[in-house]
Structure 1
Amino acid sequence: MPGTEQFRTEHEAPAPVRSGKYLRYVALGDSQTEGVGDGDDVVGLRGWADRLAEHLAVDNPDLQYANLAVRGRRAGEVRSEQLGPALALRPDVATVVAGVNDLLRLRVETSAVVGHLEAMFAALTDSGARVATVTFPDLTRVIPLARPVRSRILAINDGIRAAASRHGVAVAEIARHPAVADRRFWSEDRLHCSPPGHELIAAAVAHALQVPGSDDSWTQSPPPLDASPSRHWRATAELRWAATFLRPWLGRRLRGQSSGDQRTAKHPLLHRVEAPRS
């Protein structure tokens, strides 16, 4: 695990003062928190955590933000690689979202995944941080081939809710949102959210944290699509998706590789966040 020194701010600041304001937000997780699907590696990734930081900055003009997430990381790796550096940054608000990469493995113990998440919930809340997480959508609604993992998703979501309740962690119920079956919510690979999907998650987490200015409008159903795709269009789309995304993913798994190999966090140091201009 990298030394915590590289994750500290240039000049060590005193621990944040809890006064109803957030001074330091740290995000832990995998590709979804990194922002894959919202931008790219050329122009840069944004993602729901970046968007949430902007929401927080509206009422917290001195907010600083670090994003330790790295694509491909499993829950245990997030815990071993990111929790220590996160605690060293002494956040007063943190998000923990991990587990999807575990779900997609051939074998997984859902209780072990939840155990890693709960350990992070406990450590961060014990440090004084307000913590938030999300439940996972049913991937079978957009990837029919993912049916074998549906029971895992349901089990992990139940575990997340129980662990969050034990530690006072705010939960954004993304799993229950009707938009998760809407192709506009997802990027082309169907594993990562599109920009509108990332914005929906940011709004959901802001609402779960009761951020001033947030509300439950994110729970509303999206407007209907203009027309349902034909059966031929769907079949063609499935073949194109399998060739473009599923085959390379399977190839990496067979070679023991990850999309996150040789990658590091995009924002390992706390930096000032500007609120979005109205």
Structure 2
Amino acid sequence: MGYRSFVAVGDSFTEGLNDPLPDAPPPAPGEVVRYRGWADRVAERLARLDPDFRYANLAVRGKLIDQIVADQVPVAVEMKPDLISFCAGGNDLIRPGTDPDQMAKKLAAAVRTLRATGADVVLFTGTDPRDTPIMRQLRGKFAIFFMHVRSIADLYGCHLVDMWSMQGLRDWRAWSDDRLHMNAEGHRLVAARVLHVLGLPGEDDWRKTWPPRERVDPRAKRREDMQWLKEHFGPWIGRRLRGTSSGDGLAPKRPELGPLSPAPTS
């Protein structure tokens, strides 16, 4: 009826950006903001099904697939959980010159290693980037990689969470201002989809239909796009040019497989 242990592996998506912890105090100067995210939400549900449930989240924002495979996958194998989620490749795909076919080979090798432990493994396709400025130009590369993910899931008997088909995630109300990370509502939808794929009871429906929005003036939309380029995409390019990452020096938020504290109230 459930799982006794769950290890989440990946990047900022699995770490939980930008789903703030309810009632968390403002961070002190220089302190790293910690987030909740879909994986914590799934773990909270699994913990309610089994009082002995344990959870670890090894994901770190900004990590590339090679870093995730080298640093997180061996730790997950050593922990021997019942359930492992593995989502990687998003940060690679938005870099120039990356080959989705080569990325898929690395993913497949890691999945073989994880499945060899006997754990159930959850894989993810990403969302369709066609509505995102600049990112839409990479849509073909995204689609190739996500088709590989579907094939790998089928080949190795993994659970697949297909976010490309989640129409609720096509609305910007499920995303934070940076247009790269989901907000609390987006993470809630993904958590609901994961539980559905696992055949476990959940409290939310991932098939969300948003209420209609007022028509946006095209000029206002262009201003929003320019503001996004300045505040979010520009700094991201700057980090790439400097060879730095938002996750440099950060440790996983839950590096040990252990019990959960009481779940947040919202």
TM-score (norm 2): 0.91
Q: Distance in 1 between matches of 2:261 and 2:16?
A: 18
- Residue equivalent to 2:30: none
Question: Which residue of structure 2 aligns with residue 122 of structure 1?
Answer: 112
- Determine the C-alpha separation between the residues in 2 that align with 1:115 and 1:77: 15
Q: Distance in 2 between matches of 1:265 and 1:119?
A: 23
Q: Give the aligned residue type for 1:197.
A: G
Contact 1:96-1:117 at 8 Å conserved across structures: no
TM-fit CA distance, 1:229 = 1.6
Given the alignment, which residue of 34, 38, 52 partners 1:44?
34
Which residue number corresponds to residue 77 of structure 1? 67
Q: Deviations over 1:99-158 (max 9, x none)?
A: 1001011111101211222222211111011111211111231x2211221001110110
Matched, 1:234 2:234: no
What 5-or-longer segments of structure 2 have no aligned partner? 28-32
Q: Which residues in structure 2 correspond to 1:8-47 (within 5 Å)?
A: 20-39=1-20, 42=27, 44-47=34-37
Distance 1:44-1:232 versus aligned 2 partners, 3 A rule: same
TM-fit CA distance, 1:223: 2.1
**Alignment match, 1:181:** 170
Q: CA deviation at 1:274?
A: 4.9
Amino acid across the alignment from 2:114 = L
* 1:275 shift after superposition: 6.4
Secondary structure of 2:205's partner?
helix
Equivalenced residues, count: 256
Amino acid paired to 2:20: G
The 10-residue stretch of structure 1 (99-108 or 33-42) with the greater mean CA deviation from structure 2: 33-42
Which amino acid letter does the alignment assign opposite residue 26 of structure 1? Answer: V
Match of 1:217 in 2: 205
The one-letter code sitting in structure 1 at the alignment partner of 2:229 is A
Counting only pairs closer than 5 Å after superposition, residues 99-118 of structure 1 correspond to structure 2 as: 99-118=89-108
Q: Aligned residue for 1:197?
A: 186
Structure 1 counterpart of 2:197: 208
| Aligned-partner SS, 1:188 | coil
1:208-244, CA deviations, whole angstroms, 9 ceiling, x for partnerless residues? 1112x149931x2422233122112211111111110
After TM superposition, give the deviation of residue 162 of structure 1 in Å.
0.3
User: CA–CA distance in 2 between the matches of 1:221 and 1:50?
Assistant: 20
Displacement of 1:204: 0.7
For 1:217 and 1:46, the matched residues in 2 are separated by: 19
Alignment correspondent of 2:248: 261
Instruction: Supply the AA of the counterpart residue of 1:127.
Output: T
Q: Which amino acid aligns with 1:73?
A: K
Query: What secondary structure sits across from 1:189 in the alignment?
Result: coil
Distance in 1 (alpha carbons) for counterparts of 2:176 and 2:187: 10
Identity among equivalent positions (%) equals 36
Residue number in structure 1 paired with 2:81: 91
Q: 2:260 is matched with which residue?
A: 273
Cα distance in 1, alignment partners of residues 154 and 172 from structure 2: 31
Instruction: Give ranges in structure 1 of 5+ residues lacking alignment.
Output: 1-19
Tell me: CA distance 1:150–1:70, structure 2 relative to 1, closer, same or farther (3 Å).
same
SS for the counterpart of 2:191 is helix
Q: Check the 8 A contact 2:18/2:181 in 1, yes or no.
A: yes
- Alpha-carbon deviations, 1:141-186, whole Å to 9, x = none? 1x22112210011101100000000111000111111122201111
